[in-house]
Structure 1
Amino acid sequence: MTPTAPHTSALVTDTAAVRLTALHRVHGNVRALDGVDLIVPAGTFTAVTGPSGSGKSTLLSCAAGLDRPTSGSVRIDGTELTGLSERRLTLLRRERIGFVFQSFNLLPSLTAAQNVALPVRLAGRRVSRAEVREALARVGLEGRAGHRPSELSGGQQQRVAIARALIARPAVLFGDEPTGALDRVTSRQVMRMLRDLVDRDGRTIVMVTHDPDAAAYADRVVTLVDGRIASTAERTADGGRTACRAS
């Protein structure tokens, strides 16, 4: 008897770092997300923009597992989030998701190195000094490990926050207005560093921003309006943009 060939779909793996399908999020009478479909390939940089109230932060929160959608699917690195228990979702966030906020959220009494190591230690895992030094070196803070937040500039504090998000080697780094509290020069420095993390290290970044200069560093800019994707703009080889309007 000729062996039966394996079913093709069983062998296919999801290569997208983030996959959102028919995503809805309703808050009372407000439809914050209205059927969003979005695929973020691994090793790319996506910026999400749009006017205030367009659903940007809600999309980011649902995609990062910080909020549960009303309906639809969220997959991170091939894992479906929507059916996970709170415990499993917490574990996945610790191991596969990094998050950088507009406010740096550093503990003032801890050094830069201690702040970077804190999430891993709270998860009950050991982290070596070499790992912490490497994380700080990746964001250009090799000589600041012993400094407390009050001894660092705003840009340096955000770099510490990014190193803290990267220490667990997440599949995706999410940023919620990561340059919102920084001046223009410092914002550019942080954005160049994030761009370098994608180009040099193959990181996947999804960032919400209202700043067109910050969005310009991304491979793709997704614009939300009223909870729906209104348009996308892809970076071309010459550094320009090719735009596509959603139907």
Structure 2
Amino acid sequence: MTGIDTSVVLESVTKSYRSGAGEVTALDGLTARFGHGTFTAVMGPSGSGKSTLLQCAAGLERPTSGRVVVAGQDLARLNERKLTELRRSRIGFVFQAFNLMPSLTAEQNIALPLRLAGRRPDRHTVRQALEAVGLADRATHRPAELSGGQQQRVAVARALVTRPAVLFADEPTGALDAHTSREVLRLLRTLVDRHAQTLVMVTHDPAAAACADRVLFLADGRVRGELTDPDADSVVARMMLLEASC
């Protein structure tokens, strides 16, 4: 992949944390690339560094060493203000817990990133985001009036409203039942196929990973292999081999 068609690049990224009297290495010289308009699932045993990878790639954590480039921007060269501006304008994040404001309607929740970025929300843009996730008729509903799957769709629309270069999803279906999970995964797949959205998703679910173009496997903070055009059975087999070797 060249720099032109790559949305996210991590080069020799190490991330260490202080833990008591010692140090824990969450990422250990990890290198990975995520191409424009592709859907990558990230999997690995507990403690393998999956969430730390997302946090470093999204500019939520600064690596101890190495280089992270998002949409052509080297994050190490940005001060905190510029990094915040980049996260608000070029990076979307979807969490397992939805993280919606309970007192706001769906459209107000979606408009929130624009307000935080100091931009006046355009109602048409917000409504377009709602339509993209199939919730045009739920604009005035508050989170408590929506199902879990609808809340996650609002969270996806909120992440997309700034038209980010990359969308990061951390266990986006982890709090949903099987049927609702499939609906959300179909939505994410559609965003990639129809709108060339770059998507990086951490998941523990082989069925969710099978929706991706590629699965990246981590263990001990390092990339331990990848699988293209995955299906659930091949993902399960790889995970079993990976966990047996750890």
**TM-score (normalised: structure 1):** 0.90
CA distance in 2, matches of 1:79, 1:128: 27
Instruction: Specify the alignment match of 1:97 in structure 2.
Output: 91
Instruction: Specify the alignment match of 1:151 in structure 2.
Output: 145
Is the CA contact (8 Å cut-off) linking 2:207 and 2:232 kept in structure 1? no
Is the CA contact (8 Å cut-off) linking 1:50 and 1:56 kept in structure 2? yes
CA distance in 2, matches of 1:76, 1:122: 20
Instruction: Specify the alignment match of 2:6 in structure 1.
Output: 16
Is the CA contact (8 Å cut-off) linking 1:65 and 1:81 kept in structure 2? yes
Q: Would you tell me which structure has more helix in proportion to its own residues? A: 2
Is the CA contact (8 Å cut-off) linking 1:62 and 1:69 kept in structure 2? yes
Structure 1 residue 129, shift from structure 2 partner: 1.2
| Superposition CA RMSD, Å | 2.0
CA distance in 2, matches of 1:51, 1:239: 16
Structure 1 residue 15, shift from structure 2 partner: 2.5
Instruction: Specify the alignment match of 2:17 in structure 1.
Output: 27
The residue matched to 2:174 in structure 1 has which SS? Answer: coil
Identity of aligned residues (%): 62
CA distance in 2, matches of 1:100, 1:42: 18
Which of 111, 123, 127 is equivalent to 2:121? Answer: 127
1:115-165 alpha-carbon deviations (Å, 9 max, x no partner):
000110121101211111100010010100010000000000000000000
Q: 1:189 to 1:13 in 2, by over 3 A?
A: closer
The residue matched to 1:210 in structure 2 has which SS? Answer: coil
The residue matched to 2:61 in structure 1 has which SS? Answer: coil
The residue matched to 1:206 in structure 2 has which SS? Answer: strand
Is the CA contact (8 Å cut-off) linking 2:209 and 2:232 kept in structure 1? no
Structure 1 residue 21, shift from structure 2 partner: 0.4
CA distance in 2, matches of 1:100, 1:179: 10
Which of 168, 192, 198 is equivalent to 1:204? Answer: 198
**Is 1:176–2:166 an aligned residue pair?**
no
**Residue identity in the other structure for 2:153:** R
Instruction: Specify the alignment match of 1:7 in structure 2.
Output: none
The residue matched to 1:22 in structure 2 has which SS? Answer: strand
Q: 1:239 to 1:149 in 2, by over 3 A?
A: closer
**Is 1:48–2:51 an aligned residue pair?**
no
Paired residue total: 233
Which structure is larger by alpha-carbon Rg, 1 or 2?
1
**Is 1:226–2:225 an aligned residue pair?**
no
The residue matched to 1:143 in structure 2 has which SS? Answer: helix
Is the CA contact (8 Å cut-off) linking 2:89 and 2:117 kept in structure 1? no
**Residue identity in the other structure for 2:178:** R
1:78-128 alpha-carbon deviations (Å, 9 max, x no partner):
110122110000000011000001111111111000000011012110121
1:51-72 alpha-carbon deviations (Å, 9 max, x no partner):
1100000000000000000000
CA distance in 1, matches of 2:54, 2:205: 16
Query: Which structure 1 residue ranges, 5 or more long, are not aligned?
Result: 1-11
**TM-score (normalised: structure 2):** 0.90
Which of 108, 115, 123 is equivalent to 1:114? Answer: 108
Which 4+ runs in 1 deviate beyond 2 A? 12-15, 238-243
Structure 1 residue 14, shift from structure 2 partner: 3.5
**Residue identity in the other structure for 1:36:** L
Instruction: Specify the alignment match of 1:72 in structure 2.
Output: 66
Instruction: Specify the alignment match of 1:9 in structure 2.
Output: none
Is the CA contact (8 Å cut-off) linking 1:15 and 1:78 kept in structure 2? no
The residue matched to 2:188 in structure 1 has which SS? Answer: helix
Query: Which structure 2 residue ranges, 5 or more long, are not aligned?
Result: none
Instruction: Specify the alignment match of 1:81 in structure 2.
Output: 75
